A and B are shown apart, each in its own frame.
Chain A
Amino acid sequence: MSAGEILALSAARALSAIEAGELAGGEVFNAYRERAEADREAGAAGLNCFTWVAREPAADGSAPRGASQPLGGLPLAVKDLFCTEGVPSQSGSRILQGYLPPYTATAVSRLTGAGAALLAKTNQDEFAMGSSNENSAFGAVLNPWDRERVPGGSSGGSAAAVAAGLALWALGTDTGGSIRQPAALCGIVGMKPTYGLVSRYGMIAFASSLDQAGPLTRDVTDAALLLSHMVAQDPCDATSLASPEPIRMPSAGSLAGVRLGVPDELTGEGIEAGVMEAFTGALDHAQQLGAEIERVKLPHAPHALSAYYVLAPAECSSNLARYDGVRYGLRADAQEDLLQMYTRTRHDGFGAEVKRRIMLGTYALSSGYYDAYYGRAQRVRTKIAEDFRRVFETVDFVVTPTSPTVAFKLGERTGDPLSMYYSDYCTVPMSLAGIPALSMPCGLSEGLPVGFQITGPAFSENRLLDAAHALERVLAFDGGGARV
């Protein structure tokens, strides 16, 4: 197979070719390694998707053809914040520059254990805090559809790399939309599983009650394939859960009898006209496939962003207390006394957005403010989860646009934190409720991809993937505009 033919394959198709003895996983690895390395070497002239790329090509000449392991040696790109033993894991932060973890995150070791090969670590917003990938200590990632625009964030490097064909597929994490929003802005599939389905062990923590790992892929089948090898209860993560059933490969071609709820609160004011047009176009397709469309109410969804920007910074301020210049990472030169070493190290090591969230969270948890902010936000979280539970008594899934806008210009929102936070308006409610949600491309607006979000009850991954698979076939989105 030529490199061009290899790069045209989805992971599932590459795996079929490997199983048929027509291709070796090492050949796929090497085809992508060259492209990823070229992007890394190009620096600012490339997309800046990667913070590390594997140095050694796979020995494809000697590797046996045919899969001895389920993932057959296929290359995997991994968001920087997953710990990978002996490989830099810096979470996009100066405070962790050069950090080499002594162990590997469970989500990654399960995939490499199933035969995936670590291709690269991907650029991200610092500690996963951001919606544009402009908050990285390693520079912004560019959107492959338009290099003057952001790829979304925080898993921006993973999304841009998959969209541009610099990676076959990638791991990301989603706290308030950090898989789904960049997937939408780059025109690929991204899925946040039910909270607890994938172990968080070895993921550099942002907000522990929300963080969840998931796949960023070219299509729905690849998302199911990657996720199927990630799920497992892990003794190293007490909040991980056993999946009630294995993740299956989706096969549905119809939506007959499937009830889709369209919430008024997430499809009205504030959603760009071109985004709504592509979204309603996708609803028409769903209807033609047999789906029933209903309007539903999520009365507390408009308060989700407010609750999220109390809860996530509160958890962040606690989690990021560990960066003190003692055990790993950066230590500032100022060393007159211990306290000054801590405060200077954190001043020098953290970027502006991370400092803002640490301050916000510390304030919300401080004496006299706890009940007004954190306590109330936790109660709003209860109401949001109740809203979804009630809606899922009458519909199978709730569907919304993934992002209120298409990819915005670099620098457009960096001066206004609230306008940046608003990017997560449609994705945060599902994060607070801990339910699975998938974004898939449903068309273009002004030449830029629009994401269609489908969310279902906890542990509905298989049904959700089936519905997305059926819809994907009729939407027939062409991602060719992003290939480099």
Chain B
Amino acid sequence: MIDRDEVLHVARLARLALSEDEIETMARELSAVLDHVARIGELELSDVPPTSHVVELTGALRPDVPRASLPRDLALSQAPSVGDGGFLVPSPQA
């Protein structure tokens, strides 16, 4: 069971603001889903290696050829706020 404090802790980690309503709903729904997925705890898996990736791959290499990167104005063109050729953000310690 996930309680209100845990929801708020996880929301902080996820950089997500939640309204009062959302906190309650989230606690209930996350608990229901986690109860369900906890069933994998019943399986004996201690000798089983984890799979992070299904296809056997070694590092793919390509020729190291210089090429143009994204032009600065194009990279900035979708930003909500820009200044001095960069992304403009509020101060971290306002």
CB within 8 Å of B: which residues of A?
99-100, 102, 194-196, 209, 233, 235, 238-241, 300, 303, 305-307, 309-310, 317, 321, 324-331, 335-344, 346-347, 350, 352, 355-356, 358-360, 362-363, 366, 372-373, 375-383, 385, 417-418, 421, 432-434, 458
Is B90 a contact partner of A341 (Cβ separation < 8 A)? yes
Chain B residues near A373: list those with CB within 8 A: 37
Question: Which chain A residue has the least Cβ–Cβ distance from B26?
Answer: A359
A309 close to B33 (CB less than 8 A) = yes
Q: How far is the CB of B56 from chain A (nearest CB, A)?
A: 10
Given A307-B40, A363-B30, A366-B13, does the pair A378, B51 have CB atoms closer than 8 Å?
yes
Q: Within 8 Å CB of A363, what residues of B?
A: 2, 6, 10, 30, 34
B34 neighbours in A (Cβ, 8 Å): 360, 363
C-alpha gap A376/B44 in the complex (Å): 10
B51 lies within 8 A of A385 (CB) = yes
Cβ-defined contact, A355 with B37, below 8 A:
no
Interface SS majority for chain B: loop
5 intermolecular pairs with C-beta atoms under 8 Å apart: A239-B55, A309-B36, A355-B26, A380-B40, A381-B50
Asked if A379 and B89 sit within 8 Å, CB to CB, the answer is no
Which residues 1-59 of B sit at the A interface, judged by CB distance below 8 A? 2, 6-7, 10-11, 13-19, 22, 25-26, 29-30, 32-34, 36-41, 43, 45, 48-55, 57, 59
- A458, B39: Cβ atoms under 8 Å? no
* For the complex of A and B, 10 pairs with smallest distance between CB atoms: A434-B54, A378-B50, A331-B80, A328-B78, A347-B17, A343-B17, A379-B45, A337-B94, A235-B62, A306-B37
**CB-based contact A344/B26 at 8 Å:** no
Chain B interface category by residue count: 35 or more
Which residues of the other chain, B, contact A335 by a CB distance below 8 angstroms? 90
Residues of A within 8 A of B59 (CB): 238
**Further 12 A-B residue pairs, CB within 8 A, beyond A102-B74, A239-B55, A355-B26:** A102-B78, A238-B57, A300-B43, A306-B40, A335-B90, A338-B92, A339-B92, A356-B33, A360-B33, A363-B2, A381-B51, A383-B48
Given A309-B36, A385-B51, A385-B54, the answer on whether A337 and B92 have CB atoms closer than 8 Å is yes
Instruction: Say yes or no: A379-B14 contact (C-beta < 8 A), given A100-B78, A239-B55, A417-B32.
Output: no
Do residues B15 and A346 form an inter-chain contact, with CB atoms below 8 A? yes
Return B62 CB to nearest CB of chain A, in Å. Answer: 4
A317 surroundings in chain B (CB, below 8 A): 14
Q: Chain B 50-94 against A: per-residue CB contact (8 Å), 1 yes, 0 no?
A: 111111010110100000001000110111110000010111111
Residue of B nearest to A434 (CB): B54
> A343 to chain B: which residues have CB within 8 Å?
11, 15-17
Cα–Cα distance between A188 and B92 once the two chains are bound (Å):
51
B7: chain A residues within 8 A (beta carbon): 359
Q: Which residues of A contact B60 (CB under 8 A)?
A: 233, 235, 238, 240
Contacts of B80 in A (CB 8 A): 325-326, 328-331
Residue of A nearest to B22 (CB): A355
| A359–B50 touching, CB < 8 Å | no
A324 to B26, CA, bound (A): 21
A380 to chain B, nearest CB (A): 5
Task: Report A-chain residues with C-beta under 8 Å of the C-beta of B87.
Answer: 326-327
